[in-house]
Structure 1
Amino acid sequence: MKCRYCSCLCIKKGKLKETQRYQCTVCKKYQQDQYRYTSYKVSDAELVDLLKEGVGVRSISRILKISTTTVMSRILKISADLKRPYPIVKGNCYEVDELFTYVGHKKNRICVCYSLEPKSGAIIDVVVGRRNKTTLRKVTETLVL
């Protein structure tokens, strides 16, 4: 077997749960022929498509045969890379509105604040959290140039 890192020769060096492990003779890194857990094969596009269809996190993990924590961490990674789709133009008029909902039961009330451009109906920014000044400030600060 050839090393994945340096392409040198690997020798047999122990077993891990009945799977043969190999060690590189040069860089001394361990590796296997085949790995059981294949969550790296699932692309971000597949995950986003399922989310757009309204599939839940547990259903996604069951369909793709990967862990729910892996699904959640990948969703958070994808959401961190999202950019605002519409630029904020100086001189335009924007509306800021809020709506309330709850998670689980009525005591867990949350506020969704958003800003939109009334002419096109495009949503500029969305913030989810408690109804307080800091949540509203996050939405209004994006509009101030």
Structure 2
Amino acid sequence: MVLTTTSCYKCVGGTISCDSCAGNLIKYGRDIRGKQRYFCKKCIKTTVLFYTYQACHVETNPKIIALTKEGVGILSMARLLSISATTILKRIKNIASTLFPPTLSNNQEYEVDELKTYFLQKSNPIWIAYALEKESRRVVSLAVGNRSNFILNQVLQPLIKTYPKMIYTDKLKNYKHLIDNNIHSIRNKSTNHIERMNLTLRTHLKRLNRRTLAYSKCVIMLESIVRIYCWSI
């Protein structure tokens, strides 16, 4: 004979665990669709066991991050996760808004470069300017916009505040006016690491591929995708 045990979910010591804090859930009425709701006394959150919309699951955001870093397009991501493309776009923007560049150390060497792409159509060029820490190969600063002193300065200012040993760039004239000569170098092959990173970005991110229909429709989405790729864990 196989013995089976049952427990009352209405009790405080029920066996259903909260996804947020692993605390026990108790019954908490029903929602407008008649589904049973549960309440966690530990984190004071309500939930249901089976959501109608897949976007409500706690593992949705990590999946979006993983698929984004694998170069999956928005429509493909929507099909794989059974979520609308509009929801995917909103989630990507929300995730990117919570990401920040890593903390910089003093007296480091950096490589700075710009990656050209476009949005809406090829007649609208736009640049991803960013800085790479030479030792750790981390992207430590980035900005998206036209290739002007204002955009480049957004990338350079966090680096200059850390008293860097050297900042390596290409021969773009703008850098001469933004970086002190004592810490600026344009020597040959000094930006090899960031040039390789440019190729990695074009390979991994679908909207940066040379020939694709998955081009960026707006600057905000382009910057959000790059932030997720560079700064999400």
Task: Give the TM-score, by structure 1 length.
Answer: 0.69
CA offset digits 1:85-142 (Å, max 9, x no partner): 3x32222232322122223432010011111222343321121112222211210121
2:140 is the alignment partner of 1:124: yes
Identity %: 34
- Retained in 2: the 8 A contact 1:115–1:123? yes
Structure 2: which 5+ residue stretches go unaligned?
1-9, 11-25, 37-47, 162-233
More helix as a share of residues: 2
State the one-letter code of the partner of 1:82. L
Higher RCO by CA contacts (8 Å cutoff, separation 6 or greater): 2
Residue 69 of structure 1 aligns with which residue?
86
Change in Cα spacing, 1:57 to 1:9, as seen in structure 2 (3 Å) is closer
Q: Which amino acid aligns with 1:126?
A: L
What residue is the counterpart of 1:36 in the other structure? Answer: 52
Deviations 1:6-38 (A, max 9, x none): 96767xxxxx7xx5599xxxxxxxxx9976333
Q: Considering only aligned residues, what root-mean-square deviation do their CA atoms show, in Å?
A: 3.2
Q: Which structure's residues are more often strand, by fraction?
A: 1
2:68 is paired with a residue of what secondary structure?
Answer: helix
Q: Is the 8 A contact 1:61 1:68 kept in 2?
A: yes
Question: Which residue of the partner structure matches residue 107 of structure 1?
Answer: 123
Deviations 1:13-68 (A, max 9, x none): xxx7xx5599xxxxxxxxx9976333202521111111122111111111111111
Give the letter for the 1:81 counterpart.
T
Structure 1 outlier segments of 4+, above 4 Å: 6-10, 19-22, 32-35
Unaligned runs of 5+ in 1: 11-15, 23-31
Q: Tell me how far apart the structure 2 counterparts of residues 117 and 126 of structure 1 sit (CA, whole Å).
A: 12
User: Helix, strand or coil: the match of 1:108?
Assistant: strand
Query: Contact between 1:20 and 1:33, CA under 8 Å: does it hold in 2?
Result: no
Residues 8 and 117 (structure 1 numbering): CA distance in 2 closer, same or farther, change over 3 Å?
Answer: closer
Q: 1:142 to 1:33 in 2, by over 3 A?
A: closer
Aligned partner of 2:151 in structure 1 is 135
